[in-house]
Amino acid sequence: MVKGAISLVAGLVLFHCWVAMAEAEHLRYKDSKQPLNTRIKDLIDRMTLEEKIGQMVQIERGVASAEVMNKYFIGSVLSGGGSVPKPKATAKDWVDMINEFQKGALSTRLGIPMIYGIDAVHGNNNVYNATIFPHNVGLGATRDPQLVKKIGEATALESRATGIPYVFAPSIAVCRDPRWGRCYESYSEDHKIVQAMTELIPGLQGDLPANWSNGVPYVVGNKKVAACAKHFVGDGGTTEGINEDNTVATRHELFSIHMQAYYNSITKVVLTIMVSYSSWNGEKMHSNRDLVTGFLKNTLHFRGFVISDWKGIDRITSPPHANYTFSIEAGVNAGIDMIMIPFNYTEFIDGLTLLVKKNVIPMSRIDDAVKRILRVKFVMGLFENPLADYSLADQIGSPEHRELAREAVRKSLVLLKNGENVDKPILPLPKKSSKILVAGSHADNLGYQCGGWTIQWQGQSGNNITTGTPILSAIKHAVDKETKVVYEENPSLDYVKFNDFSYAIVVVGETPYAETNGDSLNLTISGHGYETIDNVCSGVKCVVVLITGRPIVIQPYLEKIEGLVVAWLPGSEGSGVADVLFGDYGFTGKLPRTWFKTVDQLPMNVGDSHYDPLFPFGFGLTTEAYKATSEYLSLLNISFAIFGVFLGYLLLLHFFYFRCWHHIGIVICIFSMFGLFFSFNYYTY
């Protein structure tokens, strides 16, 4: 009896071990050696409807928790603009928060990791101390896709440093009207420049292997992030530039201008694409099945996932959320795979569940969405490495990234006017002067020079919003130590006239904004900007630096301005502006947008029949850097140094033997003196 009982227990143990081993063997989705499609199918086959719908849900971090992730099988979490763990949060604060959400996702029955997303549109711009790069309009002025790729690489590192593997960038909108509040998020009015700047994608995601299958998603390791091309499609072509409005265009116009960069993005295997709030000829893009499923997925063979914009499906109806059940049906059936809800997730989950059970939304559509989401998660390695660590914390605002941003600023500056004529340029400015004036609301304001989407969604004013170098500080550091720099935000004409300034630098422009808050029908400089230009430039020779996300009204003041520079929205590294103003580097930037004379001309883009710009697309004066001259002088000084050493020897020889009284000795002495002088000059340069 006892032996029989022991045998029975042993048999049961062996049986359970065999079952467990067999179960483990069949969990193919957890085996990284299995083919990608095998892993996806194995996991899909195990999932309930509830688990599938959970994967399609993206919620805001403010309503997320480990418990919510576990209970509703949430597939993704995001930070909205300005949504942070706490003010001035460190990399550790971010990693700890995100890992807490991730642990909730991993504690579910199938342990599917969530993916965390953020709007890193010019660096990891929600994060305190991160490097803030120039906004896209400035990068378009550089005409340098490889620079943009490097910015993508730096942004990926600074995002991963905070535990974030997914960024909503790049914006590949083609802004056709600067009255649009998101125009600074567009690289150019010319789709060819926008296409070239899709190099940000391999910067973010990594370069594809040489023989990689066309269209299959790919991310190079855990120092890269998933990118998101946005906003599909035509967001930059709305009537009068009204945000989220209607783009009136033929199919040919839509495809030849606004669709072009999506071809490049898909060729570079962008992992996700975000749908636009806007409409095309009256049809909301969030419900446009013909373009989202028919063209993007079926014709272009996009194999990543399609994500909605923030409350994007709500806006299918007017007013938004008026018929949410219809919005869910229209958005999901159009082909949207992941829904950025971002708050009322239970309403969405309940609504979608009911629509599937009633066969209003077919199960095949749900499976397509979930397969795409899982494909991205698998290729990113989230199943193998779901939790972030602190190993990349030193990448936040690193010196290398700040120097890259400074280079981007230098290359983005566009010189529109340089003196009255080519024979009398005002730029580059001399570093050594008795006293110079710096004026304007934007000269000493880091928040203004960074613009919107910086720490806060709408951006903000002040030098304490994050770390960086305001333009005023950069100017003070760049000039000679004997040069007195006086800052007066809005000086009177009398003040300017009676203070004997050598010259003035006026830094004015737009105050920060994002999206609809930036829509403008007048496109004017903010605050007392025009008054400052008038007062300063009437009293002393001046250079005006414009901090702006787009062309603005400047023609009435152009005659008074001796030097006019567009710095766009340069970001945290204001030293890049000073580098070029004072000639350490030359001006090389070219206008990525047409500069209008009056707003009545808008919309006006290169190639239009009524094209009559103040400054045409592609315009940009150039200057030579002092550096080139200095290098020449250094070579000259080296020659004199060598000559000086030789003549110095002769000097000593004649001093001891001829006492310099012989006429030949006198000549040698003189030349020796020059040689020693230039030798000293070289070594102290």
Residues with a known catalytic role? 309, 515
Compute the distance between CA of residue 59 and CA of residue 344 in angstroms, rounded to an integer. Answer: 8
Query: How far is Cα 113 from Cα 486, in angstroms, rounded to an integer?
Result: 56
Q: Report the alpha-carbon distance of residue 274 to residue 237 in Å, rounded.
A: 17
Give Cβ neighbours of residue 133 (< 8 Å, ≥ 6 apart): 122, 123, 139, 151, 154, 155, 404, 405, 408, 571
Using a 10 angstrom Cβ sphere, with 0-12 exposed, 13-18 middle and 19 or more buried, the burial of residue 605 is: buried
Q: What is the CA radius of gyration of the chain?
A: 31
Tokens of 442: 């934007």
Using CA atoms, how far apart are residues 242 and 417, in angstroms rounded to an integer? 31
Q: What angle do CA 162, 164, 170 make, to 5 degrees?
A: 120
Task: Characterize the bridge pairing of strands 272-275 and 246-247.
Answer: unpaired
Q: Which residues contact 171 (CB under 8 A, 6 or more apart)?
A: 121, 136, 182, 185, 186, 230, 231
What are φ and ψ of residue 12, in 5° steps? -65, -40
Question: Residue 118 is which amino acid?
Answer: I
Q: Three-state SS for 57?
A: strand
What are the φ/ψ torsions at residue 448 (nearest 5 degrees)? -65, -40
Q: Are 241 and 178 in contact (CB under 8 A)?
A: yes
Measuring CA to CA, which residue among 263, 146, 254 is closest to residue 197? Answer: 146
Instruction: Report the DSSP beta bridge partners of residue 207.
Output: none
Asked if 587 and 412 touch (Cβ cutoff 8 Å), the reply is no
The Cα–Cα gap between 435 and 446 comes to 24
Cα–Cα distances in angstroms (integers) from residue 108 to residues 70, 267, 555, in the given order: 5, 35, 62
Distance CA 211, CA 201 (A): 18
Which token pair is 157? 């590192």
Question: Over the range 110-136, which residues count as b (16 or more CB within 10 Å of their CB) and which as e?
Answer: eebbbbbbbbbbbbbbbbbbbbbbbbb
Give me 229's structure tokens.
């091309």
Q: What is the rounded CA–CA span in Å between residue 308 and residue 219? A: 22
